[in-house]
């Protein structure tokens, strides 16, 4: 049986991966496998400790002896350095399965190296490693404020920096790493993001709560950790720009990357009576807000590429949703969401808001279709696919030291042997390294 | 025939494997062939160095020397047995044990303490699984080593016993007033277990250790334990002794204590049998269990201080029985017909 070292943010961390993803997957995972939940958080919620054993690690000195009792480590990486910094530090030292919750990780590395560590050299070296001199120059320009964060994230996602040395990579998106030119040198799997949909009676209660207020002002909701790419500024601008704005009430639930800036904008646009900033809400209040909202706005631009657990949660409540036509969101069924083009953002948001006022029923049907699609996201299926992938990826384990060895040989030869003379030796060494790590067994 | 014996060794460390390689070379020469040793210096840390050594072995060409064909390579140890040769025979002394049965051993495990331990372990296992079968025949040092090779790598092999050096010179002397523990002083030989057992003996058993420590730290650990347990008047550290002294120590002891962790083979057991002395070993001591039959040629204790102490007390108080078991041990050795002639015949067939 697989013994799994699981590294992810865990409740009470204010992260969707902790609050939703982990809590959806871990019960199913722990039912079938021996799981240890590794954390560097100060606190872990009691309900997590009821699912599996929680163990602590120091990212600077991980307890390798204990970790090596496991068969494989599964590292969950996303863009928030507070939640994923420690996990990444372990993952670079011990190969395992890397689960990407964002496909563009430039922000993560920038914040880990520049904001937290003031390690400009590592940041620039990583850019040079994957994108050559162009990457380094762009990094220098970015550090000096010459390039926008969005542009850096899209052009230089640095995702390979996170998957380098991994035994396997799991994503939750139809959008491939190949499209981003970030294909890792290991097997990949795209799995449907897991989600446990609420039982029907509960869903009916939510519908009833929503129907209790069938008239304007309609409640719009934005929720989750609200980084800049959540487009809150564009949403506010769109709302302010339509005469029918008084028919909406916008509730913003979640931490905002720059709350002062947003408050100023709300004031300047004259939206103070229509927009409420509620901050991070406990689960119970989130439920109350989502069950009484009429429509959600869940934009991303630039998209960091990954599937959104929050979108699945919005669908669970049967909420019609505005999404950006980009990344994973762009691959959602046309009839289950309303799309916003990044280049016509404000205009499209306004069009959808007006359409909603004209015919709310069309939007309600959209949300219901989203909820029905959740049957594809069964965590049991997810856990089964993940374990099969991990078992297969483990067979690649001997290739990790073999590749490192190949790198050392290439680097060493280049220092003392002329390229023409080294060809024979490189060829011999390559063949013998392949012989050392080749697995000729057939899979059952 | 021109025969190369390929092995690996840790510089400045000399143990049973080095003695065996020399004896094999001499035995092959005695059988009328040319034989030489090729020993690969092996450094097992940091872990990635192990992969370097594996590749180094694969890159060696031992098929010819000065235009003359080398007829056979007899490979003994990891990673030397990875050397390719069309007429390679492996006589496996052991695989890289901390990638296998000693992976999670509390004292011997080393790879398990590092971040890349699992991938290095897997690389060693994969190379063994794929490349050991390149040999045209696979023999091992003992049934114990064959069992591990089958269990971990799925490879069948034939155990091939060999006699200790100068087997004909071992003799039986008068029964002395001490138990004898000859071995390198290192964690897996478990001198520490014997010391703790001594502290639990009801009798005033005396124990004489012979052999050098792998590191000063290991000797210091043992010395400290003896001091803390107030055993200084019952323990004697003889250090490195000559072959002649060693034979005398065997000949004149009451019995031999040999409780290692999963020993591959264990010359100590054979030398004790040749000296007609009973052997106290442990149920997890591996190779010695192929020769020690509990209460016939020695005593098999559990690997705990209490159990080992009980066995030591038994020998100490019942010397008549100890002598009978010693004689039975010698007879068992004779029955096994262990000889270098047999080893050479098998390896060259």
Query: B119, A432: Cβ pair inside 8 Å?
Result: no
Q: Does the structural domain A200-376 have CATH classification 3.40.50.620?
A: no
Q: What does pTM read for this prediction?
A: 0.83
Please name the residues between 280 and 299 in chain A that touch chain B, using a CB distance below 8 Å.
none
Three-state secondary structure readout of chain B: CEEEEEEEECCCCCCHHHHHHHHHHHHHHHCCCEEEEEEEECCCCCCHHHHHHHHHHHHCCCCEECCEECCEEEEEECCHHHCCCCCEEEEEEECCHHHCCCCCCCCCCCHHHCCCHHHHHHHHHHHHHHHHHHCCEEEECCHHHHHHHHHHHCCCCEECCCCCCCHHHCCCCCCCCCEEEECCECHHHCHHHHHHHHHHCCCCCCEEEECCECCHHHHHHHHHHHHHCCCCCCEEECCCCCHHHHHHHHHCCCEEECCCCCECCCHHHHHHHHCCCCEEEECCCEHHHHCCCECCCEEEECCCHHHHHHHHHHHHHCHHHHHHHHHHHHHHHHHHCCCHHHHHHHHHC
Name the band, by pLDDT with cuts 50, 70 and 90, for residue A442. low
The answer, yes or no, to whether residue A264 has pLDDT greater than 60, is yes
B282 vs chain A: nearest CA distance in angstroms?
Answer: 26
Give the tokens for residue A227. Answer: 């980084």
Residue A70 has pLDDT above 90, yes or no: yes
What is the pLDDT, as a whole number, of residue A55?
A: 98
Average pLDDT, chain B: 95
B48 neighbourhood in chain A, CB within 8 Å: 401, 404-405, 408
More confident residue, A316 or A174: A316
Please, which pLDDT band fits residue A425 given cuts at 50, 70 and 90?
confident
Domains and CATH numbers, chain B: 2-160 (3.40.50.2000), 167-336 (3.40.50.2000)
With a cut of 80, say whether residue A179 has pLDDT above it: no
Tell me if A436 and B58 make a contact (CB, 8 A cut-off): yes
A427 touching chain B per CB within 8 A: no
Stretch B317-343: mean pLDDT = 96
Does residue A3 sit at the B interface (CB-CB below 8 Å)? no
- CB-CB neighbors (< 8 A) of B61 in chain A: none
Name the minimum distance, in Å, from the CA of B325 to any CA of chain A: 42
Whole-number Å distance between alpha carbons of A296 and A353 = 11
A327: confidence class by pLDDT, cuts 50, 70, 90? confident
> So what's the pLDDT on residue A176?
67
Q: Which of residues 53-82 of B touch A (CB under 8 A)?
A: 54-55, 58-59, 82
- Of the partner residues A69, A398, A428, the one whose CB lies closest to the CB of residue B123: A398
Distance from CA of A337 to the nearest CA of B (A): 45
pLDDT in tens, B31-64: 999 999 999 999 999 998 999 999 999 999 999 9
Residues contacting residue B133 through CB under 8 Å, at least 6 positions apart = B155
Task: Give the tens place of pLDDT for each residue, A328-376.
Answer: 898 899 999 999 999 999 999 999 999 999 999 999 999 999 999 998 8
- What tens digit of pLDDT does each residue of B72-107 get? 999 999 999 999 999 999 999 999 999 999 999 988
Rounded distance, CA A338 to CA A330, Å? 10
The DSSP output letter for A325 is S
pLDDT, tens digit, 9 for 90 and up, residues B236-260? 999 999 999 999 999 999 999 999 9
CB-based contacts of A50, cutoff 8 Å, min separation 6: none
- A47-56: long-range contacts, CB 8 A cutoff, minimum separation 24: A47/A11, A47/A23, A48/A10, A48/A11, A48/A22, A48/A23, A51/A26, A51/A27, A52/A6, A52/A26, A54/A10
> Is there a contact between A64 and B113 if contact means CB atoms under 8 Å apart?
yes
Per CATH, domain A3-105+157-194+380-394 is 3.40.47.10: no
Is the pLDDT at A414 greater than 90? The verdict is no
Q: What is the mean pLDDT of chain A?
A: 92
């Amino acid at each position: 049986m697989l013994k799994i070292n699981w590294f992810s943010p865990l409740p009470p961390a204010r992260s969707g991966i902790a609050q939703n993803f982990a809590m959806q997957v871990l019960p199913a995972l722990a039912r079938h496998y021996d799981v240890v939940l590794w954390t560097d958080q100060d606190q872990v919620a009691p309900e997590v400790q009821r699912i599996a054993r929680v163990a602590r690690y120091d990212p600077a000195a991980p307890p390798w002896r204990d970790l090596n009792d496991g068969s494989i480590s599964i590292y969950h990486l996303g863009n928030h350095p507070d939640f994923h910094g420690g996990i990444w530090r372990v993952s670079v030292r011990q190969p395992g399965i890397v689960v990407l919750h964002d496909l563009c990780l430039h922000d993560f590395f920038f914040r880990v190296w520049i904001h937290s560590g003031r390690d400009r050299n590592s940041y620039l070296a990583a850019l040079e490693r994957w994108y050559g001199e162009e990457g380094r120059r762009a990094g220098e320009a970015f550090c000096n404020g010459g390039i926008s964060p969005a542009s850096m994230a899209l052009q230089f996602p640095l995702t390979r920096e996170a998957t380098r040395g991994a035994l396997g990579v799991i994503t939750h998106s139809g959008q491939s790493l190949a499209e981003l030119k970030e294909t890792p040198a290991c097997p990949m799997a795209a799995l449907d993001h897991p989600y446990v949909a609420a039982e029907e009676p509960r869903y009916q209660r939510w519908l009833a709560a929503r129907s209790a207020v069938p008239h304007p002002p309609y409640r719009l909701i934005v929720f989750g950790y609200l980084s800049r790419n959540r487009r809150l500024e564009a949403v506010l601008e769109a709302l302010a720009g339509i005469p029918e704005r008084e028919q909406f009430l916008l509730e913003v639930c979640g931490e905002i990357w720059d709350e002062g800036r947003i408050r100023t904008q709300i004031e300047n646009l004259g939206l103070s009576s229509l927009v409420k900033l509620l901050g991070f809400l406990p689960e119970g209040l989130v439920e109350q807000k989502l069950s009484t909202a009429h429509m959600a706005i869940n934009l991303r631009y630039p998209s960091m590429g990954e599937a959104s657990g929050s979108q699945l949660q919005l669908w669970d409540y049967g909420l019609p949703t505005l999404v950006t036509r980009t990344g994973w969101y762009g691959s959602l069924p046309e009839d289950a969401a309303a799309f916003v083009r990044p280049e016509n953002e404000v205009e499209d948001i306004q069009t959808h808001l007006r359409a909603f006022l004209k015919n709310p029923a069309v939007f309600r049907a959209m949300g219901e279709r989203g909820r029905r699609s959740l049957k594809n996201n069964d965590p049991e299926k997810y856990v089964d696919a993940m374990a099969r992938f991990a078992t297969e990826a483990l067979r690649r384990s001997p290739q990790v030291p073999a590749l490192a060895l190949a790198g050392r040989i290439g680097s060493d030869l280049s220092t003392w042997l002329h390229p023409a003379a080294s060809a024979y030796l490189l060829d011999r060494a390559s063949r013998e390294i392949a012989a050392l790590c080749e697995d000729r067994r057939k899979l059952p | 025939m021109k025969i190369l014996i390929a092995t690996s060794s840790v510089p400045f460390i000399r143990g049973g494997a080095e003695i065996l390689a020399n004896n094999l070379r001499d035995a092959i020469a005695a059988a009328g062939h040319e034989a030489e040793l090729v020993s690969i210096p092996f450094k097992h840390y940091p872990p990635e160095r192990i992969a370097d050594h594996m590749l180094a072995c694969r890159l060696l060409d031992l098929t010819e020397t000065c235009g003359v064909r080398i007829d056979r390579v007899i490979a003994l140890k990891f990673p030397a047995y990875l050397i390719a040769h069309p007429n390679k025979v492996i006589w496996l002394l052991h695989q890289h044990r901390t990638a296998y049965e000693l992976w999670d051993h509390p004292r011997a495990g080393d790879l398990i303490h590092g971040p890349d331990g699992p991938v290095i372990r897997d690389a060693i296992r994969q190379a063994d699984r794929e490349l050991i079968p390149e040999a045209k025949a696979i023999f091992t040092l003992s049934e114990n080593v064959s069992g591990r090779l089958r269990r971990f790598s799925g490879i069948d092999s034939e155990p091939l016993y060999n006699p200790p050096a100068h087997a004909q010179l071992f003799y039986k002397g008068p029964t002395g007033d001490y138990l004898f523990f000859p071995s390198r002083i290192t964690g897996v030989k478990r001198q520490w277990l014997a010391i703790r057992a001594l502290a639990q003996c009801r009798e005033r058993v005396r124990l004489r250790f012979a052999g050098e420590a792998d590191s000063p730290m290991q000797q210091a650990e043992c010395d400290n334990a003896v001091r803390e347990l107030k055993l200084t008047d019952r323990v004697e550290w003889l250090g490195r002794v000559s072959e002649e002294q060693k034979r005398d120590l065997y000949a004149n002891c009451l019995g031999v204590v040999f409780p290692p962790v999963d020993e591959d083979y264990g010359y100590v057991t054979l030398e004790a049998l040749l000296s007609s002395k009973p052997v106290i070993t442990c149920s997890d001591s591996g190779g010695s269990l192929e020769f020690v039959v509990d209460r016939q040629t020695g005593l098999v204790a559990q690997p705990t201080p209490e159990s080992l102490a009980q066995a030591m007390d038994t020998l100490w108080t019942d010397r008549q029985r100890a002598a009978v078991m010693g004689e039975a041990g010698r007879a068992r050795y004779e029955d096994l017909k262990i000889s270098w002639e047999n080893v050479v015949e098998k390896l060259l067939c």
